[in-house]
Each structure stands twice: as C-alpha cells, then as structure tokens.
Structure 1
C-alpha cells in the first residue's frame, strides 16, 4: 500500500467519524430573532446558541435597539446566552431558551434569565456544556412552569404597569421592544433593579421598598411580599422627574492622581476584589517591591525618527531617574521650582513603583497651604499616548517618555539637555501603611470604582471640558478654522534628541487636525484605531485642542484675546476660542433641572478667607495677600463652562458659576441645585507641586460632613468624588481605545451616598462621560450631541475579564455602584 492510498483511507475514515458525531440537522436551519435588553437595550453583543450536543451558532451583533437574528442548527432545544453586566456590576450571561425552532422569537432580558436559572438550578456565569443543557430537560412543560413561577411572583407590578398577560406570562416569545415609551414590560424593567445572578428583584425604595426573591432553586416569593406602597413608588419613579431616588448629585473634581497613585496599596473588604499594585503582586503591603515587581519595571527605548507608538525597547532602567522638584511651589518665597533632583528621594530607587511616604511623610493635619509637595509629572496628550501605547498592556515606558519628552520644546524652561522630569511619576501612596486614611475610609464605607478613567489623554483643560460636554474644544474663530502654525502639534522628536517633541508645549503646539494622516503624530494613533475598528471622532479639517489652553472668557466673563487674530495675546497665556457645542448645563436648562458650577476662589468670600490665612502666614496685610490668593487659588481650567458662549454670554446662565462660599450657603439654606459641580481651590485640589493629597482629603471631609449634617438632603443625594486626570502618574490598569482622543489612564472615583453599595469595588468600565450618562438617565435627558461621548453604549463583559468590555467602545452610567 503506498502513502497516497493510506492518506485517502484516513480522510475517508475521518469523514465517516465526523458524520457519526454530527448531531446537527443538515436539512436546514431554523431562524430566530428577538431583543436583548435590561430595560436598556444591550448593544454590540453577540447571542450564542448552544444545543444539547454542544453545537454552537452565533447571531448578528445586536443593534441600537438590541435586536438580533440567529440561525439555529439542529432540532433543539437550544440555550441562548449573551454576555451582560448585572445590576451590581457582576458579569453574567443573560439567557433564554428555545424549545422549538419554529417559535420565531426569543428575547433575552432579566425575566427570561431568571426563568433559565430555574431550569438549570444555577446562575449562568459561563455557557453550560451540551451535557448540562441535555440534563436540564428543556421541555416546553418545564419552561412553561418556570415562566409561571417567575411571572406570578410579581403580578402586582404587572397589573400596575398594565403589562399584557401574554407578555408577562411568556417574556421569551412575546414581541418585546426595549423602549419604555412603547413597551409596558420595558417600562417596568427600567423602574426596578433586578440582580439576576442573586435572583433579587427590588421594587420601590426607602420605606416603600419591597424585595422579591426569585432564586435559581427553591421557592419563589409570593406576590404578597410586594407592598402596594412599593408598587406606587415604582410607578412614581417611572413617571416622575428622576428615574432613581437621587434628587441631588454633587460632582467633586480634584486633580492629578491616578488610581494606583492613590489606591495602589488598598485592600478591600472581604468578598471584594480589586486590580491594583498590591493585588497584582507588584508591591508588598509594606510598599516594597513585590513578587511581580517585574510587571512594572520601566524600560528604556531607542530614539525614533518620527512619532510612534511602537518604540523599540532597549534595556530596563537599573534605577529610576531621581525624582525632581518640577513644579513644586515654595510657599515661603512663592517661587516655583525647576526640574532639579529632589533631595528627599534617593538616586537609587528601584526601577518601578515606590512608596512616596517613605521619603516625604504623609501629612496628617494639613492647613490651607501644603507643606510636603512632590514633583509634578508631565501630563500631555501625545506623551500619554506614547507612555501607555493606547491600551496600557505593557505600561513600561511611563518613565522613559517623561524624562525624554518632558512638557515639550515649546514650554518655558524645557531644554533637550534637561526636560525637567525624573521618576516622580512612579510614586504611590500606601493605604496599607496608613497613607490617605480618609480616602480609605470612604472606600470601605461606600463604593469605589477600580475601572474609572480620564476621558482624554493628557491634562486638566481637556478633561474638565469633557466633564462638562463629552467633547473637546475646536478651533473656529473669526472665519478661520486653522490655528496659527506655532499652535499646531508636532510630536516628531527633534533631531539629536531621544524624544523631545518639536512642536509641543504650553507656549505653543496644542491643536491637532486628526482627520489628516499626513500631520505629525496622527497616523500612529489612527492606525491603532483602525485595527480596532474604532471611529476616530475627527471631523474633516477640524483642529481639536488636546492640551491646556485658557478658556476664552475670564472669571468675570470678559473675552480673552485669541491668537493670532486678536491683539494683546501672550504665548504665556494662550486661550482657545469660544465654543458653541452643547454642555450638560444647556441640557439641564432645556429640561428645567437646576444646576450650578462652584469653583473655589471665584467668590469674594473664598478670596477673603484665604487672604487672611496668607496674610498670617507671610506676615503681610490682607490687602497685600488678596491678589496673591486670586492668582494662586482659582482653577480657571476647572471652571469648564467658561469655555461656552451659551453660558457666559447669557446673564442667567453666567449667574450659575459661583464659588465655594455660595456652595456652603446654598447647602445651609436649602438652595442646593439638583446638579452641582464642585472644584476645590488649587492648593486643596491634590495637584502635585502646589498641593498634596492630604489637602484634597481635608477638603472632601469638610464637604461630605456638611452634606451629611443635613439629613433630609443627604437622604437622596449622591456625591461623586474623582480627579480630572491622572497627572501623568503611573497606573497598571487597562485602557479602552474609544477614539483618537482617549480614553486615558484610570483615576480614583468614589460614589458616596446612602444608596452606594457599601464596601463595593466596581469593575464596570467608566469614564467622565459616565457621570453625564448618569445625569441623563436619572433626569431623563437626551445625549448632548451626536458626537459626544455620552452616546456610547453601556459595557458588557465576561466573568473571565470584567475590566474589558466585549462590546466596545462602551462606557457605563454608574448605576452598578448603587443599591436602591
């Protein structure tokens, strides 16, 4: 027998065996369609069908209404599953059952999932095998019995919402629509909180709250557990001004701390998990290098001829470059330090994260002005893209990019010989060693996100602007859409330097036309977006501001000169043009929802109080101290609405821009608006160089204590605490590429409320647009514009990796951090 004959025989045998084991129906496919939703449609996910033999097929991707279609191989029954995020943020599989192929419709929602769990006698976190599906005996009789058990339990809700009997009795096959305006079942699902994997259904809130238990096995609660008051409370939310019990939202934004900088050494409560330096083994609890320290060791790279995200690594650092004093303010002389070696830190730090407080003690009783500042790392757009490579999978070039690119050649004081940066960006505070005790107590008591991100790569200005709008400033001024050439970014390295960008810096290059692949730096980023099939959000010919410029209006509402069209501009104080896109303030106005933006240092009372402190400290008069305070304390970049014509030129809107004195007065007099943004004074913001984390802690403690002292207000308030951006500090977390502009690295985010999940660490992917999405969902507002980030869908994830959405680009709406 020759070799060819043997091969032919093996092929025939293989085909015969395959035929014997192929349990699919080769006579044709059954077609099914339906809707995947949780009250909101699940968008961009794929439904998987699995039969009793383990044969799978996959649907079209769900559309904006959650619709899908699917061809089913074989004769059934089939289990349908789709990755979803449960009400508490847990990744689960939403599920449904198809018993007969000709039923035509199969929806997947919390009710169908509760039915499936009872059929399998367990929550579905991963797809069961064909053997388990077979053992579940998915007959029509069993499915009907499980449906009856689930639907009868919440009959009072069905009656109150006038849900058709066919829809409530058979949520799998009924023609369901993920639209509360058109579908009574969806309206009910939108007004209650169902945690599928625990079988807990929450109806109503506060004293008018009932909890219905629909476990995977055992008895389902009787309808009698649902009080009439709970149903009425649910109806009230459905038709009232807010979709949750939250009547006041306070968003507090400090500055320039990454998640690992602040929470890298945090140990959560039992039963919770976290991704940080300590959990990953990068550090030990005492702050020393951990068993997996190599995961954060910083590498060096070879110089490139043009801007690239594909830098060639050469060798790791033996020691970190000594941290510098870049940006540190001396509050005796009021002088700002240059990038000189910081004598507080040794020159032989290990080449990765180090505990700051081993060298600069954590302040336990801060005054108004900081006493233990550390250097201010570079935090600019193209630098941050290069440091993180977009997704931060390697996170090994934070240091090399910082010390070689610095703040760009167009920043005063930056030279090729001394870009001014050292290893300061690798420092972290260690809660396991007692640092940041108030931040730790807030995480222990309320809800912490370990997957919340700055929206834009880079610094303060754009991230505050995005907090207000989900968008970025664009150059459009006096008939021109092209800024002066000196203001256009060129991140290609200067000849003879390792990575010092040619046209980048606070005194110049900060705009980019990212629709033009020929512009320096653009192709490197857009090529990454293309691989991921992402939309760039770059309008043709538009020049977007990607680094810090002043807003176009002063704190008093006066127009600032815009270069180069206006006389009197200075390269030391460049401003971007007035912006016309909608902000969250415009959306709130349109719905009649009250708001204010409180910026520390804006009120005369803020200045007067700080001036007394300055006068005492510097032994000068209050009159002499007042201009010092006005120049030092007002975070004009943080007063983001100064960028919008609709706000500043309308006296009624401009009157909503206030300071901290007004905030505390409004709090005391019951005049606090529905939505408040609060920005500390600069020295209380936590920004390295001129503030410290302990100052931000003290500011927060005063604010939160004041809110909680008003028990009536506190009962229905949520406080979001975050920072504008990570400040260029190292972080080990994943970054999702949403578009050309970001996302950026993780930053701290806490939800403080009587409704916060106590001690919960939330893994759902969020960024600054998530706050916009919560406001819009709670106060029933539309998205701000067709291009704003709040249009992104909610993320769905797998249990194997809860941090990375499977349906990106996607950001959450904070709802998983609440327990109503």
Structure 2
C-alpha cells in the first residue's frame, strides 16, 4: 500500500512493490452496464476517508477499510490520475453518497455496497452483532427510499465464516463449490417467507443483473443451461433440437411454440412461484403460474415435474431425484425438442 515515489499526486501504489497488482483491463459488469447506457456505482464504507488517509486501510481499527474488497479500484478504467471522472462517477462513499442517494431516490440502476471492515462480519476483526445491526439499518433506509417499490436487494457474503455447516459440499474442483453462504432477497417482489433450496453461486447475482438488463452474455448462459438440461438425452442417444424461446409472457408463448413445433408432449419444471393449489393433480403440490397455464391451455399433454424438496420428502428426496434422472434415461422418442425460456 506504499504510494509510488514517481507519482506526485500520491494516488497511485508503487508499481515496483510485490504487493501491487498491475492495472486490470478485463471486461467487468460495470463495462457492460455502461455500454448499455445504464447507471451503476460501487459504494464502499469509509471510501472517502481511506482515499485521503491510507492509515485507515488494514489497521484493525474503526473503520479498517479492506482495499481488496474494492474490486473496481484495481482496473485501469478507474485510474485516479488517468480517469478521475470515471472513478468519481462509479466508485463512491457510503456516508456521503449512498445514504444521500437512498434518501433522495437517486440510486443508480445497479448499486453495489461493501461495508467498511469493522462492519463486514469477517471472523477475527469484525463483530457479527455490529454487522447485523448495520444490515438492518441499511435495509430500513432502503425501504424508506422513494425507489423502494421498484427495488430488489441481495444481501450475501463471500465466504461462510468458518463455522460448522451440516450440509454436504457439492462435488467440484479446487475452486469450488465451497461451503454454503447466506443470501437474503429483500424486495416488494420477493416471495414472503420463502426458502429457495436451489443451488446458486456468487456468480448468480451477476447473472441476474445480466438477465434483467439484457446485457451481453445472457444468451451464452441460456445456451449453456439448455445444453446441461439436454445431457440425459445425449447420454440416452435420443435425438433432440434446442429452441431458445424469449418473450415477456412465457405462458402464451410456450403454448404457441408447442403448436408451431407440433410437439406431442411437453415436460416442464415448476418451482411453485405464483402457485395455484392443484390438489388432486399432485399430492400436496402446487404449480407456478406458467406451468398451471400450460397444463390448462396447451394442445398436447403436459407433464409437470416438481423438484423434490427435503421438507416434502424427507430423507427419500435424494432417492426420488435419482429415480427421476433414471426415468429420463429410459424415456425413448424418435425426436425431442427442448425449449429454453428466457423471460
């Protein structure tokens, strides 16, 4: 963190120091948002203080800014000397900028916020209680903002904190997945009291931003996901075609595509969002609004598969999932079409 001897502004790190990361030039989510003309900002606790006083960085005292928690700071596009305007527009302070923007209803389309070190709940140098109180305070301010009615907040972490977790870590490689981390969705659009047991990772938030704002890369994710879903058909040597379907109203669009492609049957998943109770069709089950519509309106038979939940099936959930996969392998058709929705 020593300043460069050749930099008279005192804003650049010493490039000769072993701890100095060379300016990064890779594409970021910020670049994609800017290219689309969308506003965004990274807010950081004690950012202004640390910018003028390096002694508060990694000092294990309040505010204890963690510079490696400020990812955009390491990119050439936000060089404080070469690109001061871009830096000022996108890298901002919590106290002087974030709180003001929240109260005024002027937060950008996409906002990131990283608390200062003593509030980030990191084991060893931060308090869990102080962090919880800070999260509650920030959420209360966001809920009082004029923008709240259109807001979605994701509260999550970069690691699990080192405490015991009874859940088995999914198989992966040396880079992950790791142990579970908390993630809270707070929004007027969120399903109240709902616990989603789908496996996500830290890239899921960026995926959501990419999808919400139709940024480049959304199609790549969809194609990869469709290929993943088709894996049982590949393994079973069942011919298939992939059709990417994109529409704001997927209910009617799926039914129209079924008719256009002349499908003899459709198999679709349901997670129960916007669910209607359908006792008698699936015991103790619910269909989401899209699957419910397709069941009632598609011209072909519709098979709805609900992913087994532990609270529904208990210890037998894993076995039911295995049987479901085996049944997919045994299913034989001359040709199969996979429609991948993009709402």
Relative to the length of structure 2, the TM-score reads 0.57
Alignment of 1:237-248 (within 5 A): none
User: Are 1:718 and 1:752, in contact at CA under 8 Å, matched by a contact in 2?
Assistant: yes
Match of 1:761, SS? Answer: coil
Deviations 1:152-210 (A, max 9, x none): xxxxxxxxxxxxxxxxxxxxxxxxxxxxxxxxxxxxxxxxxxxxxxxxxxxxxxxxxxx
Shift in alpha-carbon separation, 1:785–1:680, aligned structure 2, 3 A: farther
Shift of 1:702: 1.2
Alignment of 1:482-631 (within 5 A): 558-562=11-15, 566=16, 569=17, 574-604=19-49, 629=56, 631=59
Shift in alpha-carbon separation, 1:736–1:576, aligned structure 2, 3 A: farther
CA distance in 1, matches of 2:38, 2:115: 24
Shift in alpha-carbon separation, 1:607–1:684, aligned structure 2, 3 A: farther
User: Are 1:722 and 1:747, in contact at CA under 8 Å, matched by a contact in 2?
Assistant: yes
Deviations 1:442-484 (A, max 9, x none): xxxxxxxxxxxxxxxxxxxxxxxxxxxxxxxxxxxxxxxxxxx
CA distance in 2, matches of 1:803, 1:600: 44
Alignment of 1:207-286 (within 5 A): none
Aligned to 1:643, which of 74, 93, 114? 74
Say yes or no: does 1:653 pair with 2:86.
yes
- Paired position in structure 2 for 1:67: none
- Paired position in structure 2 for 1:782: 216
Match of 1:766, SS? Answer: coil
Q: Identify unmatched segments of 5+ residues in structure 2.
A: 230-305, 309-316, 326-342
CA distance in 1, matches of 2:205, 2:222: 9
Match of 1:597, SS? Answer: strand
Alignment of 1:109-124 (within 5 A): none
Shift in alpha-carbon separation, 1:727–1:790, aligned structure 2, 3 A: farther
Shift in alpha-carbon separation, 1:561–1:628, aligned structure 2, 3 A: closer
CA RMSD of aligned residues (A): 3.8
Shift in alpha-carbon separation, 1:628–1:652, aligned structure 2, 3 A: closer
CA distance in 1, matches of 2:72, 2:219: 16
User: Are 2:211 and 2:218, in contact at CA under 8 Å, matched by a contact in 1?
Assistant: no
Say yes or no: does 1:665 pair with 2:100.
yes
Shift of 1:628: 5.7
User: Are 2:103 and 2:144, in contact at CA under 8 Å, matched by a contact in 1?
Assistant: no
Shift in alpha-carbon separation, 1:665–1:683, aligned structure 2, 3 A: same
User: Are 2:207 and 2:218, in contact at CA under 8 Å, matched by a contact in 1?
Assistant: no
Shift in alpha-carbon separation, 1:689–1:698, aligned structure 2, 3 A: same
Please state which structure has a larger fraction of its residues in helix.
Answer: 2
CA distance in 1, matches of 2:135, 2:186: 11
CA distance in 2, matches of 1:770, 1:793: 13
CA distance in 1, matches of 2:321, 2:102: 37
CA distance in 2, matches of 1:580, 1:669: 34
Structure with the bigger RCO (C-alpha within 8 Å, sep 6+) is 1
User: Are 2:43 and 2:114, in contact at CA under 8 Å, matched by a contact in 1?
Assistant: yes
Shift of 1:708: 0.8
Deviations 1:751-780 (A, max 9, x none): 000111111110111111100110011011
- Paired position in structure 2 for 1:684: 119
Match of 1:715, SS? Answer: helix
Alignment of 1:387-426 (within 5 A): none
User: Are 1:764 and 1:803, in contact at CA under 8 Å, matched by a contact in 2?
Assistant: no
Say yes or no: does 1:748 pair with 2:175.
no
CA distance in 2, matches of 1:669, 1:723: 27
Deviations 1:108-153 (A, max 9, x none): xxxxxxxxxxxxxxxxxxxxxxxxxxxxxxxxxxxxxxxxxxxxxx
Shift of 1:790: 9.7
Shift of 1:598: 0.6
- Paired position in structure 2 for 1:618: none
Shift of 1:798: 4.5
Q: Report how many residues are paired.
A: 227
| Larger Rg over CA atoms | 1
- Paired position in structure 2 for 1:793: 225
Match of 2:41, SS? Answer: strand
User: Are 1:667 and 1:707, in contact at CA under 8 Å, matched by a contact in 2?
Assistant: yes
CA distance in 1, matches of 2:100, 2:42: 14
CA distance in 2, matches of 1:635, 1:596: 18
Shift of 1:791: 8.3
CA distance in 1, matches of 2:65, 2:126: 13
CA distance in 1, matches of 2:86, 2:218: 17
Say yes or no: does 1:758 pair with 2:192.
yes
User: Are 2:43 and 2:113, in contact at CA under 8 Å, matched by a contact in 1?
Assistant: yes
Shift of 1:745: 1.6
Alignment of 1:425-440 (within 5 A): none
CA distance in 1, matches of 2:13, 2:222: 30
Shift of 1:803: 9.9
Alignment of 1:423-462 (within 5 A): none
Shift of 1:653: 2.5
User: Are 1:684 and 1:692, in contact at CA under 8 Å, matched by a contact in 2?
Assistant: yes
Match of 2:152, SS? Answer: strand
User: Are 1:582 and 1:785, in contact at CA under 8 Å, matched by a contact in 2?
Assistant: no
CA distance in 2, matches of 1:635, 1:744: 22
